[in-house]
Amino acid sequence: MTDHEWYELVKAGEDAGWKLVWEKVVEPESKSQRSAELMKRYSLTAGDLMGMLYEDMLGRRKIDLYRDDGGSFQGWLRTYVRGYILGADPNKHGEISIDGAYRDGEGESEAMNIPKHDHEVVRREVWQMTLWCFRELWNEDPERCYIHLLKTRFFFSSEEVRDFLDISSSANVDQIFSRSIKFMRQRYVYHDTHPKG
Amino acid sequence: MKTPEGKTITFTFMSQPTKDPKGCWVAKLTFPGGSGEDSILPIEIVQGDGSPVPDAIFEFAGRRLAVRDGKARISFADFVRGKHESALWLHRKDFASPIPGGLTFA
């Protein structure tokens, strides 16, 4: 089974995929000398780790952060499991914090590499923000949106836009288009520096 | 007002997300190549499951257009006259309130 096939099974919550997670990731890690010692100290079982991994991957959709571009799926999952072990703080009465894993000081460098961002996720966020700004542009004046689309999506010349929307001159089209770009940029910067919530 | 010969333009409008997926709608306004002031432009409107929106009113470009079996029409001249109107709503008989939307890059 390829990493891609394995990833798809895990993502779909299929037993066959999660059985491999147990066999290739959780159980071997829990039996490694260093992890076994920490787990014993923090009263963690391999079953606990499996539960946390399942909750994170499917419950919190961390599985979507895996790029599936040829990197080791096993290694990626193992990084999470090590993070759970290293981040287990007995002073928190059993609460586990993956974020604290690399502040623990006991970890190895791999624990530092827990993926928190993914290019695909960032790209999606940028696109959603662009759509949001475009909606605001619509509320300002729909004509600006039409010009924006005609120029950037349909590759109309300024003369063609002028004729299409019955605008007085192509210079006027250019001016409106230029203001639209400026507006979008300003709104983007505003939303980027004033995030909601 | 005219569309260049050989260039068909389609503007896609999409509703804001709704709690009931069936309330979502997508409207496509098509300008066939060579359209002019007197051209009547077709608008196709589908709902969340992809089926045509039954009887409704499409508020667009400052006009209230009748929708029958997912189809509405507007003249090129009316579109240009209403190009500054941002109100964009689909009024459905089977929904209590109209559902707003906007132009998309699609």
pLDDT tens track for B66-100 = 999 999 999 999 999 999 999 999 999 888 889 99
Interstrand relation of B89-92 and B99-103 (parallel, antiparallel or unpaired): antiparallel
> Residues A35-59: pLDDT tens digits?
888 888 777 888 888 888 888 888 8
Residue-level pLDDT at A99 = 47
Taking residues A85-92, what's their average pLDDT?
Answer: 66
Residue-level pLDDT at A115 = 58
CA distance, residue A63 to nearest chain B CA (Å): 25
- Residue B65 to residue B80: CA distance in whole angstroms: 15
Taking residues A136-141, what's their average pLDDT?
Answer: 93
Query: Residues with Cβ < 8 Å from B106, sequence gap 6 or more?
Result: B12, B14
Residue-level pLDDT at A90 = 56
What confidence category does residue A101 fall into, taking pLDDT thresholds of 50, 70 and 90? Answer: very low
- Long-range pairs for B98-101 at CB < 8 Å and ≥24 separation? B98/B59, B99/B15, B99/B16, B99/B18, B99/B23, B99/B24, B99/B25, B100/B15, B100/B16, B101/B13, B101/B14, B101/B15, B101/B16, B101/B25, B101/B27
Question: What is the CA angle B18-A153-A164, rounded to 5?
Answer: 100
| DSSP code for A100 | G
**The two structure tokens encoding residue B15:** 């509703």
Q: Point out the residue among A134, A146, A166 whose CB comes nearest to the CB of B105.
A: A134
Are A139 and B2 within 8 A, CB to CB?
no
Are B7 and A131 within 8 A, CB to CB?
no
**The two structure tokens encoding residue A10:** 């895990």
Pick from B9, B10, B12, B31 the residue to mutate for testing the A interface (most A CBs within 10 Å): B9
What confidence category does residue A195 fall into, taking pLDDT thresholds of 50, 70 and 90? Answer: low
pLDDT of B46 above 60: yes
> Residues B48-65: pLDDT tens digits?
888 999 999 999 999 999
What confidence category does residue A116 fall into, taking pLDDT thresholds of 50, 70 and 90? Answer: low
Residue-level pLDDT at A103 = 46
Are B83 and A165 within 8 A, CB to CB?
yes
Are A141 and B3 within 8 A, CB to CB?
no
What confidence category does residue A89 fall into, taking pLDDT thresholds of 50, 70 and 90? Answer: low
Pick from B3, B11, B80, B103 the residue to mutate for testing the A interface (most A CBs within 10 Å): B103
Q: Which residue has the higher pLDDT, B54 or A188?
A: B54
